[in-house]
Structures are given as C-alpha cells and as structure tokens.
Structure 1
C-alpha cells in the first residue's frame, strides 16, 4: 500500500496514474481520494496525477491528538506529499476543505505550485456566519462520535448544497454517501474540530491573498450559497485569478459536473502552461463603468 510519511510522522495513503506535468488532488471533508476518480482518469492521459487521503481518513493514519490537525498542517501535508514523491512543483486542485488547503499552500509555499484550482471553498469564511460555522462544526464532530459515520452520513449527505447532486445524479450521490459512511468517525470528528472549526476566514487573509502571484482558478456552484460570495471575494483579491460559476450546481462540483469541471480545469492548465494566465491588466479598473476621456 503506497504511503508517504509527513514531517510530523503521519502516514498518508496515496495513489497515482499517468505521466507528464504533475497534478495533485486534495479532497473535501465529505469525500476522500476516491472522489477524484473522474479527474484521475481524465487528466492522467497527459499528466502525472496524484490523489491522497488526508490525515484522519483511512487508510491514512487517524491520529487521536487534536493538535495534529490544523489548517496549516493540511497545507503542509501537500508539501510533504510533493517532497516524498520528489516533485518540485505541481498544479494543485482542491475542493472545499481541500480548496482551503490549496489556498493556504499558495500562501505558505507558492514556489511549489504551478497553479491552484480552488473549488467550492467558502464555508465559514463569511464573517456574519463565522461563529455559527464554528459552532455547527463542533456539533457535526459530536454527532460523528455519537452516531458513528455509517448512521450520521445519512444526515450529512443531505446538506442543502448537496441536493443538486442528488437530484441530477442519484446514483452518483448514493456512491458519495456510501463512501462517506465508511469514513473514520474519530478522524471526521478530529478534522472538524482541528481544521474546519479553527481555520481563519478567507476575508482575514486579504493582504496575503493580494500578494499571492500563483495563477488561480476559482470554481463555485450557483446553488452552493455560502461559497458564492467568498468565490467573488477571492476573484477580486487574488491578482492572477479567474472565476467560473457552474449553473444549477451545488458543492460537490468535480463529481456532480465532471465533464464541465474537467473542461474548465484542462483549459486553465493549458493556459497556465503557455504563461498566458496573467494578473488583471491595470487598465481594467474595477471602479470604471464607462470611459469618457
């Protein structure tokens, strides 16, 4: 079973396929590396693709010390995977929790990223909902421990932002829900408490994000309500960024709309590879409505 050892001695399980310019996929809280299967199959035709399970997600280690889980540690784990596989730089594609880790990688180790894809990242970022998000994250952690993953997954998989997936692809949603039910209850609870409930709001990182030069694609679904405004904020803040909003789409974008997601990411990667994904031209001033002189 292929694993890498992090700098704090945690074993992370990974899989890889293909050859070429590397892409590393970073999963969401409700998923795991299996969630990236449509992307692993598509992009491995032209890229070396790596997906790994975060700490807390078997067969990766499930540490029981809460201090071994944090937002910074999640970003450092990406660096550790790159180091272990001797990859100097990679395209990094993250969804939700993985999207936050991808943003933080761009802040703490921008030299390791060829580009960033930040999809469905926004929960807890809105300042007016920040305290609620932290409290509900702690409640989710408690329910994973109380009910176990098999039972609580039935509730968690029915979150508002996942209904669009259920309606358009019931079989895909059922597979997502079944995989969620197999997660470690301890790992899920620790991740909720250590990463989700304690991560900083994206809005608190405005100055750092303004200085980040890594080419970035932001992707949100228009029915993923609490990611829409944070997505617009990221677009306005990160200099070399673009925003794609998928219509009638919820949170689990890469498996809910795999063809559209893959097309957007492939076009982005091709543009980056040609050094044509540039910062916004200063002549395109956001304050200007029409030019009169």
Structure 2
C-alpha cells in the first residue's frame, strides 16, 4: 500500500490516479480516502488526483498521543504529502474538517495552491453557537471513545445534516455508513477533541482569510444548516471567493450531489488554471 511518513514520523496512506495538474482532496471527520471516489473517477481523466486518509483514519496510522493531532499538524500533513509526491503546487479540495485544513494551507502556503475549494465548511464556527459546539464536540468524542464503533457510527451517520443524503440515495448512504463503521473509535475521538474542538473558528481566522490570494470556491448545501453561516462568512470575507449553494443538499455533499459539485469544481479548475478567476468576477 502507498504510504509515506509525515513530518513527525506518522505514516499516512494515500492513493493517486490520472495525470496532469494535481488535485489534492482532504476529507471530512466522517470520511476517509474513499470519500472522494466520485471526484477521483471524474477528474482523473484529465488531472493527477490524490486522496489520503488523515492520521487517525485507517489505513493510516492511529497515534494514541493527543499531541499528535491538531489543525497545524493536519496542515503540515498536506504539505508533507505534496512534498513526498514532488508536487510544488496543486488545487486543494477540502470537505468540512478538510475544508478548514485546505484554508489553512492557503493562508500559510499560498504558493503551493492553484485554487481552493471549501465544501461544507463552517461547522462550529458561529460565535453565537460556540458553547453548544464545544459541548457537542465533547459528546461526540465521548461517544466514539466509549461506545462500539458500529453504534457510534450509526448514531453519527444519522445526524440531521446528513439525512437528505439518506433520503435521496439510500444505497450511497449505506456505503457511507459501512465505511464509517470501519473507522477507529480512538482516532475519531482524538481527532474530535484535538482538531475539531481546538481549531480556530472561521471568525478567528478573519485576518488571514481577508488576505487570502488563492482563488476560492465555497460550496454548501442549503440543508447543511450548521455550515450555511460559515459559508456566507467566507464569501463576505475572502476577496476573490465565489459561493455555490446546492438546493436540497446536506452535509455529505460531495457524495450526495457529485454531479453538481464536480461541475462547479471543473469551472474553478479551468478558471484558476487559465488565470481568469479574477477577470470573471470583474466582468460580472
């Protein structure tokens, strides 16, 4: 299996397919390298596509040290992956937890980014919901740490923001649950407590986001209520951002509505690659 050691020696699993301009996909809390299969199959026809499992997610290594998890560490893992594959610059596509990480890469390493897509981004960021978000993070971590993974996965899969996926695509939702049950309870709990709970909110990232120079596409489903405010905040804050709202779509948007997401991403990649992203905004 293709593995590499990250900056601190933790081994991460990755897959790649296709050739051309690189795209690095960064998954959400409930995802792993397989989450991006609808995008890998579509874009590997004309791009070099890379997907990986974050630390704490099989088949990547699952450290039991809380200090091995965090937002800065997740950002460094993406850069380490790109360095390992000798990729100097790439399109970054992140979903939820992975979208936060992609934004951090764009802020700290803009020279490594052709473009950034932040899908389903914003959970836990709204200042008005801070206390309830902290408690929810602690409850989720406790659930994954104390209950059998089958039970925790079943509960987490049925959070309200994922139920549109279940309603529209029961077969896809069943696959999502199967993959979630194969995760590590320990890795999930440590990720929730040390990355999700402790990461800066979008509002706390405002200064960095206002100076972001990388083309940014924000994608959110209108039924993904915990992420709508954050997505609107990104649109208002990042100077050269675009916002795409997918109707009747929830949080698991890259799997729930792959055709709409892929079409929007294709337009981003084309405009960013051709250097016309800013021109399109000016002409509008």
TM-score bracket, normalised by the shorter chain, equals over 0.9
Measure the CA separation in 2 of the matches of 1:143 and 1:230: 26
Please tell me whether the aligned partners of residues 241 and 279 of structure 1 are also in contact (alpha carbons under 8 angstroms).
no
Cα distance 1:281–1:95, how it changes in 2: closer, same or farther (>3 A)?
closer
Alpha-carbon deviations, 1:186-208, whole Å to 9, x = none?
10001001100101110111111
Gap runs ≥5 in structure 1: 285-293
Question: Which residue of 2 is the match for residue 266 of structure 1?
Answer: 266
Question: Which residue of 1 is the match for residue 52 of structure 2?
Answer: 52
Secondary structure in 1 matching 2:30? coil
Q: TM-score, normalised by structure 1?
A: 0.95
Measure the CA separation in 1 of the matches of 2:271 and 2:280: 15
Measure the CA separation in 2 of the matches of 1:125 and 1:280: 29
User: What are the equivalent positions in structure 2 for 1:77-116 lying under 5 Å apart?
Assistant: 77-116=77-116
Secondary structure in 1 matching 2:115? strand
User: What are the equivalent positions in structure 2 for 1:11-160 lying under 5 Å apart?
Assistant: 11-160=11-160
Q: CA RMSD in A?
A: 1.4
Name segments (4+ residues, structure 1) moved above 2 Å.
279-284
Q: TM-score, normalised by structure 2?
A: 0.97
Alpha-carbon deviations, 1:106-163, whole Å to 9, x = none?
1111111110000001111000111211121111111111112111111100001000
Measure the CA separation in 1 of the matches of 2:151 and 2:279: 47
Please tell me whether the aligned partners of residues 95 and 118 of structure 1 are also in contact (alpha carbons under 8 angstroms).
yes
Question: Which residue of 1 is the match for residue 199 of structure 2?
Answer: 199
Higher helix share: 2
Cα distance 1:74–1:279, how it changes in 2: closer, same or farther (>3 A)?
farther
Gap runs ≥5 in structure 2: none
Q: For the pair shown, which has the larger CA radius of gyration, 1 or 2?
A: 1
Question: Which residue of 1 is the match for residue 226 of structure 2?
Answer: 226
